[in-house]
């Protein structure tokens, strides 16, 4: 269930929120998935993203931000109601951020 703090409205804020809630073990698990295999994360991470970030509960600002991030402003008009695609964009951002963090550490 949503933690009752305001929902993030940008991809970066959403990725930061999820990363801040992850254990070190989860961070290592996610960062170790090869980029081409990110779909493996959909079950455990995707569902968590849906629930924590309100993708199915009315967080239209975040869904729109994900669509614009992935498809550009014009094309985003066709993808605004797709929580699964938004979740995938956020998963990619989390993976990218964790791999940057893990490389620097």
Tens digit of each residue's pLDDT (9 = 90 or more) over 2-16? 455 699 999 999 999
Tell whether 97 is covered by a domain: yes
In the three-class reduction of DSSP (H, G, I as helix; E, B as strand; rest coil), residue 35 is classed as helix
63: containing domain: 23-104
pLDDT value of residue 101: 80
Identify which has the larger pLDDT, 79 or 24.
24
pLDDT value of residue 2: 46
CA distance 78 to 105: 39
Tell whether 2 is covered by a domain: no
pLDDT single digits (tens) 28-84: 999 999 988 888 888 889 889 999 999 999 898 999 898 888 766 655 555 556 888
Tell whether 96 is covered by a domain: yes
Query: DSSP character for 6?
Result: P
CA distance 32 to 29: 5
Cβ neighbors of 57 (< 8 A, separation 6 or more) are 2
pLDDT value of residue 4: 55
Tell whether 91 is covered by a domain: yes
CA distance 42 to 33: 12
Tell whether 10 is covered by a domain: no
pLDDT value of residue 10: 96
pLDDT value of residue 54: 94
Q: Are 86 and 63 in contact (CB under 8 A)?
A: yes
Tell whether 7 is covered by a domain: no
Tell whether 31 is covered by a domain: yes
Tally of structural domains, the chain: 1
In the three-class reduction of DSSP (H, G, I as helix; E, B as strand; rest coil), residue 3 is classed as coil
Tell whether 1 is covered by a domain: no
């Amino acid at each position: 269930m949503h933690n009752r703090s305001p929902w993030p409205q940008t991809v970066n804020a959403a990725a930061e929120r999820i990363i801040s809630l992850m254990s070190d073990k989860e961070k290592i698990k996610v960062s170790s998935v090869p980029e081409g295999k990110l779909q493996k994360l959909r079950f455990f991470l995707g569902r968590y993203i849906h629930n924590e970030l309100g993708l199915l509960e009315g967080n239209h600002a975040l869904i729109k931000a994900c669509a614009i991030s992935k498809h550009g402003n014009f094309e985003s008009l066709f993808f605004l109601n797709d929580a699964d695609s938004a979740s995938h964009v956020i998963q990619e951002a989390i993976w990218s951020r964790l791999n940057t963090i893990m490389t620097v550490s």
